[in-house]
Structure 1
Amino acid sequence: MLAVAIAAGLGVTSFAVQAQDAAPVHSKSHQKKASTQKVSTQATSRDAELEELKAQLSALQSKVAELEQRTDAQSDINVSTGQAVETVQKAQVVSDKKMGTIDKFVNNTKIGGTMFFDMTDVNHKEQVGTAGSIKKDGHGSTNGTGFDVKRFYLTIDHQFDDVWSANLTTDFNYQSTLSQTSLFVKKAYVQGKFDPLFAVRFGAADTPWIPYAEKWYGYRFLENTITDRSIDGGRGTAGTAPTGMGSFGNSSDWGIHALGATTGDNSINYQLSVVTGGGYKNPTRSKGVDVEGRFGYQPIEEMVLAIGGYQGKRAKDVQLGAPTRDATRGDALVAYRDKTFGVGVEYFTANNWDDVIKYTGGLPVPAVVKDKADGYSVFGDWTFMPQWALFARYDRVDYKYWSFAGAQSKLKDTYYNAGVSYDILKNLRLALAWKYDKLEGPNKAFQYKTNEVGFWGVLSY
C-alpha cells in the first residue's frame, strides 16, 4: 500500500511538470530563455525530488520487508503459543478429571473406628465337689489386674452410586488373659440397596440377631448379649470341665443377606441370611448352608417386639465326615429405649448347638450325644442427669446334655453386672462397673465364680 501511494505521488509530479511545459509562449526569445532556465531548474528540482522519493520508497520497502518478517515470526509465535495453550488445556482437562475422581472417591468414602477397652481386676475361684474354693486361673479367667483392648473395629464404607456400596471392617483385639493379639476381617461385603425394604449384601456381614439385640441393649462394650456371651467351663464329669457351652451364635458370617426396614411408629424390619455357619473367623465350606432370620415390629419408634431363628449344620457337614443333625435356635426380644431410659428382656432356646455331629453307634462312644439350652437376660439403664447413667443386667442360662445311656446332666450359669457410666465426649463413654459370673456343674460337681471390677470404655469416631 505504501508503494502504491508513492507511485501515485510520482505520477502527479510528472503530470504537473508536463502541464507547465505546455503553457503558452508570448515572446520567442524571452520565452526561449525563460523556458531554458525553467526547464533546467525544473529538471534539477525534479531529479532531487525523484531521488528523495526513491530513497523514501527504498526505506519504505525495507520497513515493509521488516514488517513481513515480523509478521511471519509473529505467526510462528502465535501458532506455537496456540499449540502450547491447547496442550495446557488438554493437560488441565486430564488433571481436572483426575481431581474430580479423587474428590468423588474421598467424598463417597467414610472411615471410622470403634474401640472397646478396659482396665480391671479379676478374682476367679474354682471349687470341685465338696472341696474348698481355690483362687486359680482357668476357664477363660486370669487373676490380677490388666488392660485389654477387647475389640478395635476399623471400618471403611464406600458408596459407588445411589444403589451400590461396599464395607470393610477389620476386628483387632488384645486380651491380657491370652497375652496375644488377633486380627480378623469382621465384615467384607458389597451391598445393593434397591428400596428401604429391600437390600442385599454379599460377603461377610452382620447376622440377623446378635447385632440387632446389641443396639437395643446399648452396653455392648461392657458385655456381649446373652446369645453371644461365651460361657467357658462347659460340660463334663466331676473334676473336669471340657469344651461346650460357649456362645450360641455369631455376630457376623459369610453368605448372602437380605434386609429392610421402615421408620417411625408402626414400622417393621427384617433380615434373612443364608450363611456358611462357621462365623466370620472361619470362612470354611460345607455340604450345605445355614439359615438365620429375624422379624421386628415397632408399635412406637421407641419400642420393639422381635423374634428370630437359626437352623443349620454350623459348617460341620463336610465331605466324608460324620453324620450330622441340625442345630437350631429361637430368639425373642422386647425392649424400650428413649433418650433417658432403656429396658428390655431377651430370651433364647437352642437344641444340639454343640452336638451337631450325630452319634450312630460306632466307637469310641462320645460323652455327650445331644444338648439343649434356655436362657434369658433382663437389662435396664437410666440417664439420671446429662452424661451420667446407671445400668444393670441379669442373665440366667440352663444347659442340659445327655449321655449315650440317656443320663441327663445340667449346667446353670448366673451372670449380672451393675455400674455407672459417664459420657466424657459425645463419642467417648467410660463405665465403672462390677461383673459377677457363676457356673455350677451337674449335681454341684464343680463350681466357678468370677468377680471383676474396674473401668470399661468405648471410643468411636
Structure 2
Amino acid sequence: MRSSLLATAIATGLGLTALTAAGNANAAPPAVTAEQLAQLQAQIAALQAQVVELQAQNDAQSEVNVTQAKAIESTADTQKAVDGLKKLVNDTKIGGRMFFDMTDVDQTNNGNKTDASGYGVDVKRFYLTVDHKFTDVWSANLTTDFQYLSALSNTEVFVKKAYLQGKFDDAFVLRIGGADMPWVPFAEKYYGMRYVENTLIDRLSYGTSADWGLHAGGDLADGMMNYAVSVVNGRGYRNPSRSERMDVEGRFGFAPTQNTIIAVGGYSGKRGQDTQNIDPPQTAERFDAMAAYASSKFRVGGEYFSAKNWAVTNVREDKADGYSFWASVALTDGGITAFGRYDKAKLSKDIDPSLENTYYNVGVEFPVIKGFKVAAVYKNTHQENNAAVDLKTKEFGLWGDVSF
C-alpha cells in the first residue's frame, strides 16, 4: 500500500513538471547541464530503489500476515480439540472394584470332605466401570464383571451393567439396558460388608443384583421416601435372553432419618423361563422387608424374605423364607471395625420342610489405605434336612476390598 502511494506521488510530480514545461512552451528552454542531468538520474534511481524496498517490505508483511492468520487458525483448532478432549475427560469417569480372599475351606458332605476343601485365593468380583455424562440429563454406564473361583478352577467375564440413563428429576431416574435391580444393591448399601458375603437373597439365589430391561426410581419428599421398579427379562445379567413376558421387581423405602431405612419390596414373573416352546407351570413370587441403621460408626439391620414357586418349572408348588441379622461397630477412630451376621432360611417349606440353611460370620475389618481394606473373618454354613443332606462349610482367612 505504501509503495503504491509513493509511485502515485512520483507520477504526479512528473506530471506537474511536464505541465509546467508545457505552460512555458513559448519561453526560452532553460539550459541543462550534464551535471544537473546526472543528479536527476541519481534521484530517480534512488526513488526506484525505495519503491523496490517498500514493495519487498509489503510482500514480507503479507507473508507475515498470512502466517499469523494460519497460526491463529491452527491455535483455534488446537484449542478446540483440547477443549473437546478436556470435556470428554471431565465428563467421563473410570473406576474399578475388586473383592478377593485368601482362605482355608473345610467342607464336609455327610461327614466326608469334598474337593472344595483346602487353601486358595479367589477373586470373587472385579468390576471395571466407565461412566460418561452427555448432558445434565443424559449419561451412560458400562460395568464389566470378572470372577475367578479357585475351587471350581473357573474364570468368567460378563457385562454386568450397560445402560443409558435419563435423570429428569431426583424423583424420576430412568435407565434403559442392564442395570441394578431394586432390592439387592439397596440392601448391600446398608449391610456394608458385601465384599465379605452377598446379602441374604443373593447368597441363596432368590434374587439377583442386576438384569436387562427398563428401570426407574428416585427420591421423594426430600429423600424421606424412595422407590425403584424394574421390568426385566428375568434371568439375571449373565443371561439377557428373551422370553414370552417380562418380570417385575419393585421397592419402596421410608427413611425417617438420614441413617435409617424401612423398606418393602417384591418380585413376580416367570424368571425368563417361558419361551415359545416352554410354558412353566408356576409363577415366581417374592416378598422382601428390611429395617436398618447405618452410620460411619455403627450399623445394625435385619432382612426378611418369603418366596413362592421360585423354581417355576416345578410341577408342585413350594415356598421358602428366611431372615438375616447383621451388626458392626467401629472400634477405633482409624476405622478398625468388628462385625457379625446370622442367617437362617427354610428352602422348601412344602416339598421338603426339613431343608434348612444356616449361616453366620464374625470378623474384624482393617483399613489399609484409602480405597483398600481387609478383614479377618470366620464363616460357617450348614445346609441339612432329615434325609441325606448334611453339608457343612467352615472358612477362615482374609477378605479384601479394593476400589479406585
SS at match of 2:235: coil
1:220 to 189, 194, 217: 194
TM-score, length basis structure 2: 0.90
Report whether the alignment pairs 1:452 with 2:395. Answer: yes
2:54 to 71, 83, 86: 71
Check the 8 A contact 2:148/2:154 in 1, yes or no.
Answer: yes
1:183 to 144, 154, 157: 157
Q: CA deviation at 1:321?
A: 1.4
CA distance change for structure 1 residues 227 and 97 in 2, over 3 Å: closer, same or farther?
same
2:307 to 350, 353, 358: 350
Equivalent position of 1:383 in the other structure = 330
Residue identity opposite 1:347 in structure 2: Y
Report whether the alignment pairs 1:319 with 2:276. Answer: yes
Residue identity opposite 1:324 in structure 2: P
2:211 to 237, 250, 253: 253
Check the 8 A contact 2:367/2:374 in 1, yes or no.
Answer: yes
1:414 to 351, 358, 366: 358
**1:276-425 alignment runs, 5 A limit:** 276-354=233-311, 356-357=312-313, 359=315, 369-386=316-333, 387-400=335-348, 402=350, 408-425=352-369
Report whether the alignment pairs 1:194 with 2:151. Answer: no
Equivalent position of 2:4 in the other structure = none
Q: CA deviation at 1:221?
A: 0.2
Check the 8 A contact 1:394/1:415 in 2, yes or no.
Answer: yes
Report whether the alignment pairs 1:208 with 2:182. Answer: yes
Give me the whole-angstrom Cα distance separating, in 2, the residues matched to 1:416 and 1:228. Answer: 15
Give me the whole-angstrom Cα distance separating, in 2, the residues matched to 1:401 and 1:375. Answer: 11
Residue identity opposite 2:176 in structure 1: F
CA distance change for structure 1 residues 190 and 2 in 2, over 3 Å: closer, same or farther?
closer
Residue identity opposite 1:374 in structure 2: D
1:83 to 57, 66, 89: 66
Q: CA deviation at 1:444?
A: 4.1
Q: CA deviation at 1:409?
A: 4.2
CA distance change for structure 1 residues 402 and 152 in 2, over 3 Å: closer, same or farther?
same
Q: CA deviation at 1:110?
A: 0.7
Give me the whole-angstrom Cα distance separating, in 2, the residues matched to 1:179 and 1:451. Answer: 20
Give me the whole-angstrom Cα distance separating, in 1, the residues matched to 2:71 and 2:394. Answer: 72
2:371 to 424, 427, 430: 427
Q: CA deviation at 1:346?
A: 0.3
Higher deviation after alignment, 171-180 or 251-260: 171-180
Q: CA deviation at 1:325?
A: 2.5
Give me the whole-angstrom Cα distance separating, in 1, the residues matched to 2:79 and 2:150. Answer: 51
Give me the whole-angstrom Cα distance separating, in 2, the residues matched to 1:454 and 1:388. Answer: 17
Check the 8 A contact 1:370/1:401 in 2, yes or no.
Answer: no
Q: CA deviation at 1:173?
A: 1.2
Q: CA deviation at 1:69?
A: 2.1
SS at match of 1:71: helix
Report whether the alignment pairs 1:134 with 2:108. Answer: no
Residue identity opposite 2:395 in structure 1: E
TM-score, length basis structure 1: 0.79
Give me the whole-angstrom Cα distance separating, in 2, the residues matched to 1:401 and 1:250. Answer: 22
Check the 8 A contact 2:228/2:252 in 1, yes or no.
Answer: yes
Q: CA deviation at 1:402?
A: 5.0
Equivalent position of 1:100 in the other structure = 83
Q: CA deviation at 1:445?
A: 2.7
Q: CA deviation at 1:103?
A: 0.6
Equivalent position of 1:240 in the other structure = none
Give me the whole-angstrom Cα distance separating, in 2, the residues matched to 1:268 and 1:2. Answer: 91
Report whether the alignment pairs 1:122 with 2:105. Answer: yes
Cα RMSD for the two superposed structures: 2.3
Check the 8 A contact 2:346/2:353 in 1, yes or no.
Answer: no
Check the 8 A contact 2:273/2:280 in 1, yes or no.
Answer: no
- Listed one character per residue, the Cα deviations across residues 67-118 of structure 1 (whole Å, up to 9, x for unaligned) are 2222333333333333332222222222221111111000111111111011
- Listed one character per residue, the Cα deviations across residues 344-370 of structure 1 (whole Å, up to 9, x for unaligned) are 00000101111x1263xxxxxxxxx23
Unaligned runs of 5+ in 2: 1-8
Aligned residue pairs total 387
